[in-house]
């Protein structure tokens, strides 16, 4: 059985450091460019993805990468997929860089991030319950890298919520997921402007700033908060009737959008998040986060996973009712 802890530690550190990098651009009047689909992209998006890719390529050169800004990259031709990836794969996350503390080097210090760039999560609260342990240097990440490039793939969204980012709204996140044989096993979502880290790996629990995260126990739609990203997408993708059924039953409908809506559901502050259209990298970290937090993340038809081009997340108590409502049953 794979020990996912080293991968989780790596994802958390990398998302955190990339997020701190984005803060050097945040609320500076940065002007976006626009892609062919008319969505914005900034120098911060590109810089954060370049940083994350470089870290993955340094640590896991035998893994594939799929990112929003630079697409898919495969295993280099110079590496043999069936041999040891390095002379030693026993190295793990750089112990000189704690998971969430002294990561101050990524941002141009001439551009203040906040009043204090060095603030971070309370180090007295560990990622695991068992203490502020780091990765055991004697434990290899794995003995041999025999997996093909199709089996191990990192999913990156360097800034999920670029429209919020360019207007100085803090509801954006850095998303990293590790997909193995088509299933995301590890995920980290960091919200730099809020300094909130949400992360999980199979069998290791879901963690929110160092403490356990769980979905809410709300079991009645009349008490549920329902979040969404873009109302215009509901009729565009054939979900207007479903949205109206939910609206008629929910306690409140709120446009707490993009990855932030999923953060709220995973931490019990909302019950449902709706997206009638989602790219794979938008979904990256959320399957293990919701599995470990006791909720559901998947298609509007009830299939768990991240490859359906759409997403619903909800708590476990409301899952069946939500799916009946959206499917008109």
Tokens of 258: 């993009």
How far is residue 175's CA from residue 69's CA, in Å, rounded to a whole number?
A: 13
Q: State the average pLDDT over residues 112-139.
A: 36
Write down the pLDDT at residue 76.
Answer: 52
Write down the pLDDT at residue 150.
Answer: 57
Write down the pLDDT at residue 10.
Answer: 98
In a shared domain, residues 228 and 186: no
- Which one of 212, 236, 256 terminates a domain? 212
Tokens of 53: 């890719």
In a shared domain, residues 226 and 203: no
Q: State the average pLDDT over residues 300-307.
A: 97
Write down the pLDDT at residue 278.
Answer: 95
Residues 6+ apart with CB under 8 A from 68: 45, 49, 156, 157, 158, 279, 281, 282
In a shared domain, residues 77 and 159: yes
* Count of structural domains, the chain: 2
Tokens of 68: 């929003």
What CATH number does the domain containing 227 carry? 3.40.190.80
In a shared domain, residues 12 and 98: yes
| Domain coverage including residue 40 | 5-212
- Which one of 187, 212, 237 terminates a domain? 212
C-alpha torsion 16→19→21→25, nearest 10? -160
Pairing mode of beta strands 295-298, 311-315: antiparallel
Q: Is the model more confident about 137 or about 298?
A: 298
In a shared domain, residues 271 and 302: yes
Question: CA–CA distance from 315 to each of 13, 28, 99, 263, 320 (Å)?
Answer: 27, 37, 28, 12, 10
Q: Is the model more confident about 319 or about 138?
A: 319
In a shared domain, residues 147 and 274: no
In a shared domain, residues 91 and 12: yes
Q: State the average pLDDT over residues 32-50.
A: 92
Contact 162, 259 (CB under 8 A): no
Contact 190, 21 (CB under 8 A): no
Tokens of 128: 């695991």
Share of the chain above pLDDT 90, in %: 72
In a shared domain, residues 267 and 148: no
For residue 272, is pLDDT > 90?
yes
In a shared domain, residues 125 and 106: yes
- Which one of 212, 245, 276 terminates a domain? 212
Rg (alpha carbons) of the chain, rounded to whole number = 19
> DSSP alpha helices (H): ranges in 212-318?
233-236, 240-249, 258-266, 280-283, 286-293
Contact 275, 311 (CB under 8 A): yes
Contact 187, 202 (CB under 8 A): no
How far is residue 277's CA from residue 229's CA, in Å, rounded to a whole number?
A: 10
Indicate the average pLDDT of the chain. 83
* Helix then strand then coil, % of the chain, to nearest 5: 25, 20, 50
Write down the pLDDT at residue 75.
Answer: 58
In a shared domain, residues 308 and 188: no
How far is residue 40's CA from residue 172's CA, in Å, rounded to a whole number?
A: 13
What CATH number does the domain containing 167 carry? 3.30.540.10
Smallest Cα–Cα separation from 318: which of 295, 293, 290, 292?
Answer: 295
DSSP string, 107-147: S-TTS-SSS-TT--S-TTS-SBTTBS----TTS-S-S----
Q: State the average pLDDT over residues 41-46.
A: 95
Note the pLDDT tens digit of each residue in 123-136. 333 343 333 333 33
Write down the pLDDT at residue 124.
Answer: 36
Q: State the average pLDDT over residues 153-181.
A: 97
Q: State the average pLDDT over residues 284-294.
A: 98
Q: State the average pLDDT over residues 8-31.
A: 97
Least trusted range by pLDDT, from 52-61, 130-139, 176-185, 239-248: 130-139
């Amino acid at each position: 059985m794979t020990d996912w802890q080293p991968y989780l530690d790596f994802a958390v550190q990398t998302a955190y450091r990339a997020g701190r990098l984005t803060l050097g651009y945040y609320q500076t009047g940065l002007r976006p460019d626009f892609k062919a689909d008319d969505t914005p992209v900034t120098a911060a998006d590109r810089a954060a993805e370049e940083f994350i890719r470089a870290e993955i390529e340094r640590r896991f050169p035998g893994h594939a990468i799929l990112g929003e800004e630079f697409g898919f990259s495969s295993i280099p031709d110079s590496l043999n997929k069936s041999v040891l990836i390095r002379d030693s794969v026993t190295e793990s996350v750089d112990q000189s860089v704690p998971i969430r503390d002294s990561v101050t080097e990524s941002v141009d210090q001439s551009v203040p991030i906040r009043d204090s760039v060095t603030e971070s999560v309370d180090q007295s609260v560990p990622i695991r319950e068992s203490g502020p342990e780091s990765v055991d240097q004697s434990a290899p990440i794995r003995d041999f890298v025999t997996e093909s490039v199709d089996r191990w793939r990192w999913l990156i969204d360097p800034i999920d919520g670029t429209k919020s980012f360019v207007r100085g709204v803090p509801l954006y996140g850095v998303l990293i997921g590790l997909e193995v044989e088509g299933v995301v096993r590890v995920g980290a979502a960091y919200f730099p402007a809020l300094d909130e880290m949400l992360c999980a790996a199979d069998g290791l629990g879901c963690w929110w700033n160092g403490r356990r995260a769980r979905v809410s126990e709300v079991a009645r739609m009349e008490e549920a908060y329902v979040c969404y990203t873009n109302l215009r997408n509901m009729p565009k993708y054939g979900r207007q009737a479903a949205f109206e059924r939910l609206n008629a039953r929910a306690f409140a409908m709120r446009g707490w959008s993009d990855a932030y809506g999923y953060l709220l559901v995973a931490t019990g502050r909302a019950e449902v998040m709706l997206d009638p259209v989602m790219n794979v990298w938008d979904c990256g970290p959320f399957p293990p986060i919701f599995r470990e937090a006791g909720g559901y993340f998947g298609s509007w038809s009830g299939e768990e996973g991240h490859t359906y081009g759409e997403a619903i997340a909800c708590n476990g108590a409301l899952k069946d009712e939500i799916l009946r409502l959206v499917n008109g049953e």
